[in-house]
Structures are given as C-alpha cells and as structure tokens.
C-alpha cells in the first residue's frame, strides 16, 4: 500500500480527480501507468501522434474521431486530468449512488455518455448534427462498396427518422430521444473501469 | 484394418448427415455420430454375434487423440488464452480435483449406506473412478460449442480448462491406480506427498517438453527455405513426436502437444511459405475432423456389446447426479473466488453455461478401458457407467445446450425493429468502446505483458523466425506499404491517362453521379450544382458515353417524381445496406475456434480496408496541412494538386507516418524535421484539428529538406522493405543525386539482435 500511496501523491490534484470521476485509487494508478506508457517522450502530456501510435486505433473506422475527442478545440495536448476525465465517461453507471439534488451530474451519467457520442458526430460543435456531418460518419463506417447516392439516401432517411422539428439537422435532444430504447449504460461502459 | 474400415464407413456416411442441416442444428454432430455408432455396432453385432469392433485404448490414445489436440492448440487464440490463463489453471487444477474428490467420496458414502447393493469395491477405487470421470473432455467441448456461439471469454475458459486438466487427470489416475495396487493400509503421508510431487513433475514436465518441441519445430521451419515442399509435414511429425516423447517419459502427453501447438503457431506461420501454411491448416482440420468422427462413432459401437454391460441402477444414477451437481457447485465456488481478482468478472449466465458445458467424453472412456481387471473387479461396471455418462453429457446436454443458451440470453429488440439511427449508433458505440479499450490499454496490457512482448520481439523472434519473416511480421506495416505502392501506381496511371488528376472509382460506371457529369455541361443552367463542382476535376472520357447521352434534362424531373414512389423501397434498402456494409467492430468479428472452417478471412479484408482508409485520410490531411490547402468538406476524392506534388508528398508523408507509428529513438526527431520549414502553425495530423489558412512553403524547399544527406541517413533505415525502390522514387531522386541506401538497411536486419541505436522500427 505504501508504494501505491506514493504514486498517488506524485499526481497533482489527485483527490479532486478521484472525486470528480469516481475512479478508485487503483484505477487512477493504472491509468497513470497507461498514460506514461503512451507518453513515450515523457513530456507529461499526450499529442495526437501518441494516440496515432496505438495501432489498433488505425483499424477502427472512427478511431481518428475518437482521438480528436480527447483534445479540446484549439488545444493540441492532453494532460493526465483531461485524459482521466474523458475516460471517466466510460465507467459503468453506479446504480447505488444516492441522488443528491445539489451535486453535479456524474461524468458517467447516461446523459453525459450520450453527449460524448454526440460530440463525435458534431465536429463543428454547433450543437447540431448536420446532414454533412452525418454523411461523413456514414462514409467512415460503411464499406467502400456503398456508393455516394446510397450513402446520401441512408443519411436522408436517418435524419427523417430522428429530426422532429424538421430543420434538417439533429439536435442533442432529438439524438437523445431517438436512442431511448438503447441501453446506453451497457453499450458505452467498459467493465474494467468500474 | 478395423480402424480403416470404420473410418471409411463413417466418413462416407458423414455427408449424409451434413445434408440435413435441420437435424444438425438441433442435435450436435457428436450426438448424431454416436447414434450412428449404435447403428453400426448393431450391424456388426448382428453379423458376428460379438462386438469385434472395439475401441482399444492404445488406438484411441496413440492414433486418434493426438491430432485433435494438435489441431486445437495450433488454432488456439493465444492472446485470449494467456490473458485468461490464471482462471483457466484454477478451473483445470482445482476444479478437476474438486470434481474427482467429491464424486468419489459421495459415491463411496452412498455405497457405505448400502444404496448400491453388493459390490466388490473400496474407497480407493471410488476415488480412481472419480478421477477418471472428473475431467472435462476437449473433444466433446469443441464438438458441442461449435454449434453454440458463446462469448470468447467463456469459450476460452471451458476450452482451455478441458485441455489443461489432462495434467491433473493423468496424475490423479496414476496416483490412485498405484494406491489401489498398493492396497489401503500402506498409504501414508509419504505416498500422498509423492502424489502431489508427481503432479508437479508430470504437468510442468509435459508442458516444458511441449515448449522444447515448439522451439525445435520453429527452428526447423526457419531452415526450410529450399525444401518448402515438405515443411508442412514437419508440423505433424514434430507434434506427434512431442506427444510420444512425453508419453514415453510418463509425462502428460496432452499438455505436451498443447504447448507445442500454442508456442509454435506464430513462428511456424511466419516462417513457412504461404502454401505450406494453407496445407497445414487444411490437413490439420481433415485429420482432426476425421479422428473426432471416428471417436464418436466408436463410442457408439462399443455400446453394442453384451459383455461389458453391468447395470447397477444406484451406481449409475448416482454418478450422473453427482457429476452434474458437483460440476455446478465447483464452477460457482471457483468463480466466486476468481471474480475477486479478475478485472472482468465472469457473469452468472456464463457460469451456468460453463457448468452445463462440462462434458465428458472419450478420454474418460479410454481411461476406464485401461483399468486392470484384476485389481479392479468392477471394471465393467465402471466402463458401463462411464459410457452412460458420456452419452448423457454429449447427447442430452449437447442437444439442450443451444436452447439453454438462447433462453438465458437477455432479450434484445428484434433487429428489424430498430430504426436506422439506432442501428447506426449501436455500431458506432461498439467502435467507440473498442477504441477506448485500446486507449486504456485493455485488460492484458501492463508492465509484464509489455516487458514480455519486448523480450519476445528482440530475442525469441530473432532466434526462431526467418529474418525475412521478421521484417514482414508487422501486419499493419505490410498493409501500409502495399497501400503506398498501390496508391502511387494508381495516381500515376490515372494521371497519365487523363492528363489531370481525377481519382475515379472504375467500378462505378453503372452508378454515375449525375451531378458530376452535369457540372460541365449545364453550368449555365444549374448554377448551384457548379458550387459543388469546384472541387471536382472531370475526365469526361471516363464516363460511359451512353449514360451521358441518356441522362439529359428529362431525367432530372423523373428523379424528383421517382423519389416519392421509391420511399418504401428506399427504407428497406437503407436498412439492408446498413446491415450489409457497416464495418464490423471487434466485438462482432470474434476469433472463433471452429472445427470445420477458418473464419478469419472476411474480417481481414475489412480490417485492411479500414486501415487503408484511415491511413489515407491521415496522409491526406497531413499533406493538405503542409500544402495549406483546404480539405474539401464534402465527401470527395478529388484533389487539386498535380501529380508530381502528390507522389513526393506521398512519400514524405508516408515516412512521417511510419515514424509516428513506429517510434524509435532515431525517429522521434523525424517529426520536427517537417515542421520548422513550414510557416503554417499546424503540426497536428488530424483533419479537424487543422487550421486551414496556412502559408505553404515552396515545394522545392520541402523537397530539399527531405533529401539532404544528413537527414537521409536517418531516413534510410525507415524504408524497411527492399521493394520500395520503386521507379518514381528513383526517377525523382536522380534530380538531387541522392540514392536511398538500401543495402544499409539489409545489414541491420541480418546482424543479429538489433542493437538499441539502430532504430526499433516496430515499436
């Protein structure tokens, strides 16, 4: 236990981090380990090409978008805190957490998970998924055999289904509504981050 | 000859069974084969009035079993196996011991209570029986789980357990056999201690021997460059040798073959010629399938033999009951303990399937048949009971396994009822999860695994893999390299053909985008279309003449009307398209071990496609960052740059990307090389992180930067493959009179284990 405590102490503001994210000390240490392993040059922060070096991500159709999600607009580095906070989105929902009325919503709440996913689609961060943005995602996730017309027709139908106020874009509320049936906790949680 | 006649008989009836898929999906193949065995046995019995076809233990253990185990271990998903090895070992060792002890003791207790009537049997013999009936059988497990698709962790736990418990079974069997021979009173602490010690020796000795043979096999395949035609045979010969040697030394033969297969797969597949690899795979499957078929048929045949049947209701029923119950209790107990330590706990549903999947099979029968009749008077009773247990588990549990699994699964919304956006998001979430898992390092990534990987790469692979294979072993890199060449060739040939650069998918002649072709002809009439066309460069010759002639203005209006009519069809079409063409996520294309096919090929193509697209888009964005050009916001593959830029940039950018992917101490400096000369502030390589109004340095300046002599030396090691001296590069380079030093890199590869300063390109 002594060694874990000392590792914890090396991380600045670790108490705040644990409280905000809900990770246990063991997880924080594991993530710190991983952060250091990714940060091969030992600079204390990560750059896009550090993520790019993870080979499996290159085999993920939306891997680059997810990498982008770690970097706030304009920023080109990720420090440990941001890294952990983003990963906290994927903690399984704590079922037995008491609902305190005044505390802010936990990072891994259903709504915040959905927001994370929404951001992946909404690249220009205007709060709406436009037809083009949807086309880009579809293009990334569908095989090359699908032609552009087919792609556009899928995009059109998708927007039709989800777009309730007929503005040809999908807002976050419409997005959330369309995914009511899906068990977000199950689909957007990594068990070993519990 | 008996063997071969049964073999040919059963194989010829095999296709008949296969024809009836409906039957297969209900009754597992193994069950059907046993029933077939009954029929065959009946025929033989009818003819000879005695069972002349018997499965003799030596036949089984020396001619039928080894290839099945070799097949199982050769195709074992290693990563999965080793990351769950701890749990597998716990189940194999403690689970089997628990089963053996409890079944044996309970039966003895019941015997003492008088339920079984009069039998000439003692505690030790019960324990012996317990030990042979305790082991979960790999053959039966593979056969049944083939039909039932369970998640990969569950599969590997049951499968791994069935392979590794042989060590325990053999030891227990031999120990109790020896005890029975000694007689009750002579057993004391010393003997028990010897028993435990023998377990250690047998199990670890067998595994170690397997590893030794794996090394031998890898070294052999490393040297077979000139005798490629027979290198496939070595796999089987050495595998079998591993089995026989272990058996000869009284070590666990199954463990030996298992570890031989597990350890050699990677090196053998890398070293051997592609055709040999395919040969080995197919031959393995043939042998394993054949053996398995024969085993089950024989199991059926041996039933039709009046000599062996001794019926003792109490014994048999109680055995069935205890085997079943103690399996369940054992699994749940052990899992409860394991879940405290596992990162990903094993769920209750999985535990139920695991307990239900504890099938006994031919190994148990073989061990029973090997019992000495003099020492164990009730041998026939034991054989009968073993057979009944085998039939029960394989046929009954096999049939009910699939319905059970389906019944237990959480009911998901029927696929067709999901809306498009739900389907899309479902898949997107899968991808997101895999990506985040990779970023977090997944479960198996820690200091130990990284250390082992480094050790393995530097020393073991150097020893056991051909140098050429080592170069190409990085699968991704070889795809990437292919991509480079392919694209460069494509760009040049397209450019030459048209005089401009229009990247057009040649298989799309049928589905012409009418906007594209209208752009040039109707610029006056439809100004809004022109806006889109600005990014396109048209090579009219590439469109089929007929389509241009046909699609004049009337088709525009047709299209508008057509939209309403086609609504319904569109809907179905869209769902169908999504279903067909969405890239599968890692969760979906599992590495399934299957007796009858290799399921790997499909996902490999997809992976390749995805990887190429990712690399392409990274390269494009990097290029456009350098050149200061806006990436087109629409989906387009058309670019405004001209050919020479493209080829050069491609090579520059590709080196950067190689550098970024495979950082070594040398290559870290690579990245800044490209940056200082650029006035553009962007050095991030992702499309959406770029600022697009950058000033592009002159093309000459960039080119100069890349090929100055100092830099070149650092660059040269990066170009790993000797094939990359493609003509474009050579042609371009002649201007600057620099030639890449290809011989330099050859030296690096052949001079023993790479030293630290020469770049570790692959990590």
A-contacting residues of B 433-492, CB under 8 Å?
433-441, 443, 445-447, 450, 476
Which of B109-118, B290-299, B543-552, B628-637 is the least confident region?
A: B543-552
Of residues B24 and B627, the one with the higher pLDDT is B24
Highest mean predicted confidence (pLDDT) among B179-193, B320-334, B646-660: B320-334
CA-nearest residue of chain A to B422? Answer: A179
Predicted pLDDT at B95: 92
Is A49 in Cβ contact with B685 (below 8 Å)?
Answer: yes
| B618 vs B615: CA distance, rounded Å | 5
Predicted pLDDT at A98: 63
For residue A134, give how far its alpha carbon lies from the nearest alpha carbon of chain B (Å): 10
Which of A127-131, B107-111, B313-317, B604-608 is the least confident region?
A: B604-608
pLDDT bucket at B675, cuts 50 / 70 / 90: very low
pLDDT single digits (tens) B570-598: 666 777 777 777 777 765 544 456 666 65
For residue B443, give how far its alpha carbon lies from the nearest alpha carbon of chain A (Å): 7
Instruction: List A46's β-bridge partners, or say none.
Output: A78
For residue B688, give how far its alpha carbon lies from the nearest alpha carbon of chain A (Å): 7
Predicted pLDDT at B373: 80
Write down how long chain B is.
763
- Helix/strand/coil (H/E/C) assignment for every residue in chain A: CHHHHHHHHHCCCHHHHHHHHCCCHHHHHHHHHHHHHHCCCCCCCECHHHHHCCHHHHCCCCHHHHHHHHCCCCCCCECHHHHHHHHHCCCCCCCCCCCCCCCCCCCCCHHHHHHHHHHHHCCCCCCEECHHHHHHHHHHHECCCCCHHHHHHHHHHHHHHHCCCCCCCEEHHHHHHHCCCCCHHHHCCCHHHC
**Could you report the predicted ipTM of this complex, rounded to two decimals?**
0.92
Q: Is B633 on the interface with A (CB under 8 A)?
A: yes
Q: Does residue B582 sit in helix, strand or coil?
A: strand
Predicted pLDDT at B14: 66
Q: What's the average model confidence in pLDDT over B673-686? A: 34
For residue A158, give how far its alpha carbon lies from the nearest alpha carbon of chain B (Å): 6
Q: List the single residue in B426, B447, B661 with the smallest CB-CB distance to A53.
A: B661
Say if CB B391 and CB B138 are below 8 A apart: no
Of residues B557 and A143, the one with the higher pLDDT is A143
CB contact burial B668-683 (16+ within 10 A = b; e otherwise): eebbebbeeebebebb
Q: Which residues contact B498 (CB under 8 A, 6 or more apart)?
A: B539, B541, B542
Substitution target in B577, B584, B653 with the highest count of A β-carbons within 10 Å is B577
For residue B451, give how far its alpha carbon lies from the nearest alpha carbon of chain A (Å): 12
Say if CB B146 and CB B28 are below 8 A apart: yes
For residue A102, give how far its alpha carbon lies from the nearest alpha carbon of chain B (Å): 30
Q: Is A3 on the interface with B (CB under 8 A)?
A: no
Predicted pLDDT at B717: 35
Is A31 in Cβ contact with B609 (below 8 Å)?
Answer: no
Is B582 in Cβ contact with A187 (below 8 Å)?
Answer: no
pLDDT single digits (tens) B36-77: 888 888 888 888 777 677 778 888 889 999 999 999 899 888
| B340 vs B28: CA distance, rounded Å | 35
How many C-beta atoms surround the C-beta of residue B33 within 10 A? 26
pLDDT bucket at B486, cuts 50 / 70 / 90: low
Q: Is A43 on the interface with B (CB under 8 A)?
A: no
Of residues B533 and B27, the one with the higher pLDDT is B27
Predicted pLDDT at B477: 56
Predicted pLDDT at B632: 41
With CA atoms as reference, report the closest residue to B319 among B371, B378, B375: B378
Q: Is A164 on the interface with B (CB under 8 A)?
A: no
Is B430 in Cβ contact with A187 (below 8 Å)?
Answer: yes
Task: Report phi then psi at B745, rounded to 5.
Answer: -75, -30
| B583 vs B580: CA distance, rounded Å | 9
pLDDT single digits (tens) B79-120: 888 888 889 999 999 999 999 999 999 998 888 888 777 777
pLDDT bucket at B284, cuts 50 / 70 / 90: very high
Q: Is B613 on the interface with A (CB under 8 A)?
A: yes
Is B421 in Cβ contact with A179 (below 8 Å)?
Answer: yes
Q: What's the average model confidence in pLDDT over B715-720? A: 36
Q: Is A58 on the interface with B (CB under 8 A)?
A: yes
Q: Is the pLDDT of residue B337 over 80?
A: yes
Of residues B554 and B617, the one with the higher pLDDT is B617
Task: Report phi then psi at A171, rounded to 5.
Answer: -85, 175
Q: Is the pLDDT of residue B487 over 80?
A: no
Predicted pLDDT at B481: 57
Q: Does residue A78 sit in helix, strand or coil?
A: strand
Q: List the single residue in B431, B574, B688 with the smallest CB-CB distance to A61.
A: B431
Q: What's the average model confidence in pLDDT over B228-234? A: 86
Q: What's the average model confidence in pLDDT over B353-366? A: 87
Six-digit token string for B464:
């056991």
Of residues B561 and A86, the one with the higher pLDDT is A86
A-contacting residues of B 651-710, CB under 8 Å?
660-663, 668, 671, 683-689
pLDDT single digits (tens) B382-410: 889 999 999 988 888 888 888 887 777 74
Q: Does residue B635 sit in helix, strand or coil?
A: coil
Predicted pLDDT at B241: 95
Give B-chain residues touching A123 at CB under 8 angstroms: 688
Pairing of strands A170-171, A128-129: antiparallel
For B92-133, the DSSP string reads IIIIHHHHHHHHHHHHHHHHHTTTT-S----HHHHHHHHHHH
CA-nearest residue of chain A to B476? Answer: A55
Q: List the single residue in B344, B419, B617 with the smallest CB-CB distance to A161.
A: B419
Q: What's the average model confidence in pLDDT over B113-135? A: 84
Is A191 in Cβ contact with B344 (below 8 Å)?
Answer: yes
| B561 vs B418: CA distance, rounded Å | 28
Six-digit token string for A145:
């055999």
Q: What's the average model confidence in pLDDT over B131-151? A: 81
Predicted pLDDT at B570: 60
Which of A41-50, A87-96, B602-611, B669-678 is the least confident region?
A: B669-678
Give B-chain residues touching A57 at CB under 8 angstroms: 435, 438-439
CA-to-CA dists, residue B567 to A41, A160, B560, B586, angstroms:
55, 12, 12, 33
Give B-chain residues touching A135 at CB under 8 angstroms: 634-635
Q: Is A179 on the interface with B (CB under 8 A)?
A: yes
With CA atoms as reference, report the closest residue to B626 among B574, B702, B711: B702
Q: What is the DSSP letter of A142?
A: B
Predicted pLDDT at B324: 92
Q: Is the pLDDT of residue A149 over 80?
A: yes
Predicted pLDDT at A37: 84
Q: Is B572 on the interface with A (CB under 8 A)?
A: no
Predicted pLDDT at B237: 94
Of residues B638 and B253, the one with the higher pLDDT is B253
CA-nearest residue of chain A to B437? Answer: A190
Predicted pLDDT at B161: 92
Of residues B742 and A122, the one with the higher pLDDT is A122
Q: Is the pLDDT of residue B244 over 90?
A: yes
CA-to-CA dists, residue B130 to A78, A183, B374, B391, angstroms:
59, 46, 19, 17
B-contacting residues of A 78-97, CB under 8 Å?
87, 90
Q: Is B343 on the interface with A (CB under 8 A)?
A: yes
For residue A62, give how far its alpha carbon lies from the nearest alpha carbon of chain B (Å): 7
For residue B215, give how far its alpha carbon lies from the nearest alpha carbon of chain A (Å): 28
Q: In whole numbers, what is the pLDDT of chain B averaged over residues?
A: 69
Is A62 in Cβ contact with B435 (below 8 Å)?
Answer: yes
For residue B289, give how far its alpha carbon lies from the nearest alpha carbon of chain A (Å): 34
| B300 vs B53: CA distance, rounded Å | 11
Q: Does residue A171 sit in helix, strand or coil?
A: strand
Predicted pLDDT at B690: 36
CB contact burial B411-436 (16+ within 10 A = b; e otherwise): eeeeeeebbbbbbbbbbbbbbbbbbb
Predicted pLDDT at A99: 61
Q: Is A55 on the interface with B (CB under 8 A)?
A: yes
Say if CB B124 and CB B180 are below 8 A apart: yes
pLDDT bucket at B446, cuts 50 / 70 / 90: low
Q: Is the pLDDT of residue A114 over 80?
A: yes
Q: Does residue A46 sit in helix, strand or coil?
A: strand
Q: What's the average model confidence in pLDDT over A51-72? A: 83
Predicted pLDDT at B322: 92
Q: Does residue B596 sit in helix, strand or coil?
A: coil
Q: What percent of chain B has pLDDT over 70?
A: 59
For residue B432, give how far its alpha carbon lies from the nearest alpha carbon of chain A (Å): 7
Q: Is the pLDDT of residue B325 over 90?
A: yes
Is A149 in Cβ contact with B685 (below 8 Å)?
Answer: no
Six-digit token string for B174:
């031999």
Cα Rg of chain A, angstroms: 19
pLDDT single digits (tens) A163-173: 888 888 888 88
pLDDT bucket at B668, cuts 50 / 70 / 90: very low
CA-nearest residue of chain B to A150? Answer: B574
């Amino acid at each position: 236990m002594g060694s874990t405590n000392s590792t914890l102490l090396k991380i600045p503001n670790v108490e705040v981090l644990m409280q905000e994210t809900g990770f246990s000390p063991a997880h924080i240490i594991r993530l710190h380990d991983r952060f250091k392993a990714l940060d091969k040059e030992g600079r204390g922060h990560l750059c896009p090409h550090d993520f790019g070096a993870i080979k499996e991500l290159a085999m993920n159709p939306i891997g680059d978008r997810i990498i982008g999600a770690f970097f706030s607009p304009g920023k080109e580095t990720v420090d440990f805190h941001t890294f952990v906070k983003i990963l906290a989105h994927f903690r399984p929902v704590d079922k037995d957490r008491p609902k305190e009325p005044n505390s802010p919503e936990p990072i891994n709440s259903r709504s915040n998970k959905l927001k994370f996913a929404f951001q992946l689609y909404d690249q220009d961060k205007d709060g709406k998924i436009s037809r083009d943005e949807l086309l880009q995602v579809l293009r990334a996730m569908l095989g090359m055999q699908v032609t552009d017309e087919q792609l556009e027709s899928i995009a059109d139908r998708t927007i039709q289904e989800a777009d309730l106020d007929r503005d040809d874009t999908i807002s976050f509320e419409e997005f959330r509504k369309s995914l009511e049936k899906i068990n977000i906790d199950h689909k957007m949680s990594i068990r070993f981050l519990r | 000859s008996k063997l071969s006649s049964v073999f040919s008989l059963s194989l010829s009836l095999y296709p008949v069974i296969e024809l009836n898929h409906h039957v297969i999906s209900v009754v597992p193949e193994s069950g059907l084969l046993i029933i077939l065995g009954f029929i065959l046995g009946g025929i033989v019995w009818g003819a000879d009035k005695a069972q002349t076809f018997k499965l003799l233990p030596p036949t089984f253990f020396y001619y039928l079993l080894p290839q099945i185990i070799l097949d199982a271990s050769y195709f074992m998903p290693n990563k999965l196996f080793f990351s769950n090895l701890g749990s597998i070992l716990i189940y194999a060792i403690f689970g089997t011991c628990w089963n053996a002890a409890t079944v044996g003791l309970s039966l003895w207790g019941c015997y003492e209570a008088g339920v079984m009537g009069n039998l000439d049997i003692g505690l030790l013999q019960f324990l012996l029986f317990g030990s042979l009936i305790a082991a979960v059988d790999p053959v039966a497990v593979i056969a049944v789980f083939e039909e039932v698709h369970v998640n990969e962790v569950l599969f590997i736990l049951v499968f791994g357990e069935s392979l590794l418990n042989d060590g325990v079974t053999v030891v227990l069997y031999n120990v109790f056999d020896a005890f029975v021979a000694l007689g009750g009173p002579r057993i004391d602490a010393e003997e028990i201690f010897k028993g435990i010690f023998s377990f250690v020796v047998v199990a670890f000795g067998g595994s170690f021997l397997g590893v030794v043979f794996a090394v031998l096999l890898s070294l052999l395949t490393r040297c077979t460059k000139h005798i490629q035609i027979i290198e496939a045979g070595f796999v089987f010969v050495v595998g079998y040798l591993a089995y026989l040697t272990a058996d000869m030394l009284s070590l666990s033969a199954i463990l030996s073959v298992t570890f031989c297969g597990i350890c050699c797969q990677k090196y053998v597949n890398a070293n051997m010629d592609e055709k040999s690899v395919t040969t080995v795979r197919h031959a393995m499957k043939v042998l394993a399938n054949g053996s398995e078929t024969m085993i089950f048929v024989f199991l059926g045949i041996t039933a039709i033999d009046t000599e062996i049947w001794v019926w003792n209701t109490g014994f048999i029923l109680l055995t069935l009951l205890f085997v079943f119950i103690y399996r369940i209790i054992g699994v749940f107990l052990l899992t409860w303990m394991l879940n405290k330590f596992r990162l990903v706990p094993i769920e209750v549903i999985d535990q139920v399937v695991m307990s239900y999947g504890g099938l006994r099979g031919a190994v148990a029968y073989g061990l029973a048949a090997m019992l000495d009749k003099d020492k164990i008077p009730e041998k026939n009773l034991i054989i009968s009971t073993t057979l009944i247990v085998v039939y029960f588990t394989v046929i009954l549990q096999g049939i009910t396994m699939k319905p059970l699994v389906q019944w237990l699964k959480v009911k998901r919304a029927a696929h067709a009822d999901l809306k498009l956006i739900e389907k899309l998001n479902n898949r997107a979430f899968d991808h997101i999860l895999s990506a985040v898992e990779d970023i977090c390092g997944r479960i198996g990534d820690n200091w130990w695994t990284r250390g082992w990987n480094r050790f393995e790469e530097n020393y073991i692979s150097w020893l056991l893999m051909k140098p050429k294979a080592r170069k190409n072993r990085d699968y991704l890199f070889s795809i990437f390299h292919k991509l480079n060449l392919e694209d460069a060739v494509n760009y040049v040939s397209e450019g030459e053909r048209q005089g401009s650069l229009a990247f057009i998918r040649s298989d799309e002649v049928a589905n012409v985008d009418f906007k594209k072709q209208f752009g040039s002809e109707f610029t006056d009439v439809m100004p809004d279309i022109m806006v889109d066309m600005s990014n396109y460069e048209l090579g009219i010759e590439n469109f089929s003449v007929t389509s241009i002639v046909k699609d004049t203005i009337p088709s525009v209006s047709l299209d508008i009307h057509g939209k309403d009519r086609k609504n319904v069809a569109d809907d179905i079409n869209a769902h169908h398209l999504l279903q067909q063409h969405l890239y599968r996520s890692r969760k979906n294309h599992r590495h399934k071990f299957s007796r009858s096919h290799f399921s790997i090929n499909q996902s490999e193509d997809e992976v390749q496609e995805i990887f190429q697209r990712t690399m392409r888009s990274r390269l494009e964005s990097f290029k456009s960052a350098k050149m200061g050009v806006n990436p087109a916001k629409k989906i387009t593959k058309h670019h405004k740059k001209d050919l020479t830029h493209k080829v050069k940039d491609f090579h520059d950018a590709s080196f950067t990307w190689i550098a970024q992917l495979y950082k070594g101490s040398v290559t870290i400096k690579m990245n800044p090389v490209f940056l200082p000369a650029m006035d553009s502030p962007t050095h991030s390589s992702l499309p959406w992180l770029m600022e697009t109004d950058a000033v592009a340095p002159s093309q000459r300046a960039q080119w100069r930067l890349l090929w100055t002599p100092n830099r070149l030396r650092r660059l040269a090691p990066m170009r790993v493959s000797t094939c990359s001296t493609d003509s474009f590069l050579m042609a371009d380079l002649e201007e600057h009179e620099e030639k890449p030093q290809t011989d330099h890199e050859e030296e690096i590869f052949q001079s023993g284990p790479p030293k630290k300063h020469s770049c570790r390109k692959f990590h």
